[in-house]
Amino acid sequence: MGKPRIPLCVDLDGTLIPGDLLLESCIALLRQNPLYLLLMPCWLCRGKAYLKAQIARRARLNHAALPFHRELVAWLREQKRRGRSLWLCTAANHRLAQAVADHLNLFDGILASSDTNNLRGHEKAHSLTQKFGDRAFDYCGNHRVDLAVWSVSRGGVVVNASKSLEARARAVTHVYKTFAPDGHAIHAIVKTLRPHQWIKNILLLVPLAAAHRLGEPEALGAALLAFLAFSLCASSVYVLNDMLDVEADRQHPGKSRRPFASGQLSLLAGVCLAPLLLVGASAAAWPLPWAFKSVLCAYYALTLAYSTVLKRLVVADVAVLAALYTIRIVAGAMAVGVPLSFWLLMLSLALFFSLALVKRYAELKVMQREGRLESAGRGYRLEDLAIVENLGTAAGYLSVAVLALYINSPAVEMLYRRPQIIWVLCMLLLYWISRVWVLAHRGMMHDDPVVFALKDKTSLAIGLCGALTVYFAT
């Protein structure tokens, strides 16, 4: 190990934090105003250092919430206690680097990119040799570009690197400490895609089931292809949403464990994942009618608008969530050429408006337990608890009324031989909606209500009873 008089220079991106501070600040800036995306190519034309400087000047980044490598920081603090000089050496802009150094209160100084010079690779190696001398410092890094720095260092610390990179580092310097990568990248990617949320896309099969055409192989195949397209499209938006929400998620007790927020997955991985998933969704939708493709595009655009702007608007956010659920039903009808039912659309809007309010109500209950007055990234306050509950229960019971009116319509008599049995569905829906709100009121609603319904034994039993009701009425 290096002697205390040998300074230890520590990289930031990919080392102290698992991601890239440029991406972190870029996303923070786009969250402030998406129109900055139009200026970024112009800034980049003047060089990467200029781009970093312009973003650093404008972005409001919460440095305290960054997912620092805890094991590495603890080791650095031990080195500091032993009297070692620590320097933060990064390609990040000096404004951001200084803010990180101030937060950690660990470093004796910083070397970072100026507004005109990008301190990376050979540039960083040159600056460090000028500052400390050749082979007169140790360097802690993680990337192959750091080989240029290791080659002029006295010793090296390798963080989150592959075995091949570690071997290359050992070939140019004395590596005396390593911090192995997490090794759970695949698990983190799967978690980010949220495959458990794909179950919501079963709504695409509702028009087919309502038309009693589930037994037609061609129609069922088209519906399943639509299910795949919506699932991949939804995952693309989940990735974007988690990236844009990363700062707010880090302040949330549950969402802070999401891969981007916790640092299990870098934002760069998200930048690659989101378009790949969208390409997959387009490929799955290609054989389906243009009407379905149009609805899929509308779903993506509305979800993107929700992720960037609409989710911060009180009531508008839950109205959009209800619309997104209903769009799935519309898309299912377009995919298989089934006429849309007015009653089905009204039932969907009312029911899912209620369930979206359940989700917001549950979040407010968490705030109440934690003593917070406002939610991070949302427009709701603790004082809104009562009105959210009133609106949600009213919408839930409205969905029961719509179902009752549908059962009393001539359409039901045409589809069912014993339509009077369908009235059981009203009682089942009334009970389920009431139970969901009672559980939410008690602070026992910890999941998305739709996901909750798929895990809850009582909800599954009610669903089974509903299926048997439809079977005996047919």
Q: For 259-301, give the DSSP string.
A: HHHHTSS-HHHHHHHHHHHHHHHHHHHTTS-HHHHHHHHHHHH
pLDDT tens-digit map of 280-321: 999 999 999 999 999 999 999 998 888 778 888 888 899 999
| Of the candidates 389, 103, 378, the residue with the CA atom closest to the CA atom of residue 252 | 378
Q: What pLDDT, on the 0 to 100 scale, is given for residue 2? A: 43
| Of the candidates 241, 227, 230, 252, the residue with the CA atom closest to the CA atom of residue 192 | 241
pLDDT above 50 for 1: no
Mean pLDDT calculated for residue range 421-427: 90
> What one-character-per-residue DSSP string does 116-184 give?
S----THHHHHHHHHHH-TT-SEEEE-SGGGHHHHTTSSEEEEES--HHHHHHHHHHSEEEEEE-----
Fold of 8-181: Rossmann fold (3.40.50)
Kindly indicate the confidence band of residue 75, based on its pLDDT and cuts at 50, 70 and 90: very high
| pLDDT, greater one: 292 or 5 | 292
Kindly indicate the confidence band of residue 3, based on its pLDDT and cuts at 50, 70 and 90: very low
The phi and psi torsions of 453 (rounded to 5 degrees) equal -60, -30
For the chain, the structural domain boundaries read 8-181, 186-473
Q: What pLDDT, on the 0 to 100 scale, is given for residue 375? A: 61
| Lowest-confidence region among 14-18, 104-108, 202-206, 310-314 | 310-314
Mean pLDDT calculated for residue range 415-432: 88
Rounded to whole angstroms, the Cα distance separating 173 from 152 reads 8
pLDDT above 80 for 26: yes
Kindly indicate the confidence band of residue 149, based on its pLDDT and cuts at 50, 70 and 90: very high
The phi and psi torsions of 219 (rounded to 5 degrees) equal -65, -40
Pick the CATH number of 186-473 from 3.30.1450, 1.10.540, 1.10.600, 1.20.120: 1.10.600
Q: What pLDDT, on the 0 to 100 scale, is given for residue 306? A: 87
Q: What pLDDT, on the 0 to 100 scale, is given for residue 154? A: 94
Mean pLDDT calculated for residue range 344-367: 90
Rounded to whole angstroms, the Cα distance separating 57 from 10 reads 23
What angle is formed at CA 249 by the lines to CA 248 and CA 254, rounded to 5 degrees?
140
Can you read off the two tokens belonging to residue 349?
């809007």
Integer-rounded Cα Rg, in Å, for the chain is 27
Percent of the chain with pLDDT over 70: 97
Q: What pLDDT, on the 0 to 100 scale, is given for residue 236? A: 93
Mean pLDDT calculated for residue range 170-174: 93
pLDDT above 80 for 126: yes
Decide if 125 contacts 147 (C-beta within 8 A). Answer: no
Percent of the chain with pLDDT over 90: 53
Q: Which residue in this structure is represented by tokens 């990248």? A: 185
The most confident of 25-39, 118-132, 240-254, 372-386, by mean pLDDT: 118-132
| Total Cβ atoms within 10 A of residue 160 | 20
pLDDT above 70 for 376: no
Burial of 454 (0-12, 13-18, 19+ CB in 10 A): middle
Q: What pLDDT, on the 0 to 100 scale, is given for residue 182? A: 67
pLDDT above 80 for 18: yes
As a whole number, the mean pLDDT across the chain is 88
Decide if 265 contacts 259 (C-beta within 8 A). Answer: yes
Mean pLDDT calculated for residue range 407-423: 80
pLDDT above 90 for 367: no
Rounded to whole angstroms, the Cα distance separating 153 from 183 reads 28
Decide if 396 contacts 356 (C-beta within 8 A). Answer: no
Decide if 335 contacts 223 (C-beta within 8 A). Answer: yes
